[in-house]
Homo-oligomer: A and B are copies of this chain.
Amino acid sequence: MNFTISEENYIKSIYHLQQQSEVVTTNSLANEIQTRPASVTDMLKKLQTKKLLEYEKYKGFRLNALGNKIALSIVRRHRLWEYFLVTKLGFEWDRVHDIAEELEHVSSIELIQKLDAFLNYPQADPHGDPIPDVNGKMTVIKQVSIADVPVKENVIVSSVSNQSPEMLELLKHYHIGIGTEIKVNMRLSFDGSVEIKVLKYAACIISEQVAKNIFVHHD
């Protein structure tokens, strides 16, 4: 089955709102999508006739199994493109969302399969959100902040929670990006700061506050 860009945007937004609350309301979706409640009601009817959601007038709605499956495939496309934009094209993490929002609607299944392979089947996007696989399964990799990682273990940077320009600059300065392999040499109990080693570069010290914002996982 094929969907319009508008339909896909609604499906994806319902999916996201469902992560916070079981049932979604007309107003919250209208707010999420930046449209009017009346428009939401119209689209809900359409999605209902396409059998993507359970919907009772005045009582809210939610995606059914099929709707969920489609939502996951859209989320998959979005996150793969975000990963591509950051790791291959060199975009900053805070700049990729809007572009991925457009790319995600390109519908070729083969394109996404090949993109996935080209990126080497990443498991999380640059914000650390898991990327669903072809079947919609997400492996939520266990992320730990550098502040909590044991010393002398090789780990890989998977996400950064603070995406301020200052943070981005600091990370760039230390050659740290998504996928960078690092090791914690030692942790100073004095102030919680950490000495880390980035492959090929000299060891450096980052404050506890910075360490708390950088999340890593094991290989």
Contact = CB atoms under 8 A, between A and B. Distances in A.
Contacts of A3: none
A58 interface: no
A118 B89 contact: yes
Interface stretch (A66-74, A105-113, A162-170): A105-113
B107 A90 contact: no
Interface residues of A, number: 20
A196 B115 CA distance: 32
Nearest to A107: B102
A103 interface: yes
Closest 3 A/B residue pairs (Cβ) = A89-B114, A102-B106, A99-B108
25 contacts: A85-B111, A85-B114, A88-B118, A89-B111, A89-B114, A89-B115, A89-B117, A89-B118, A90-B114, A90-B117, A90-B118, A91-B110, A91-B114, A95-B110, A98-B108, A99-B106, A99-B108, A99-B110, A102-B105, A102-B106, A102-B107, A102-B108, A103-B103, A103-B106, A106-B106
A190 to B, nearest CB: 42
A108 B106 CA distance: 15
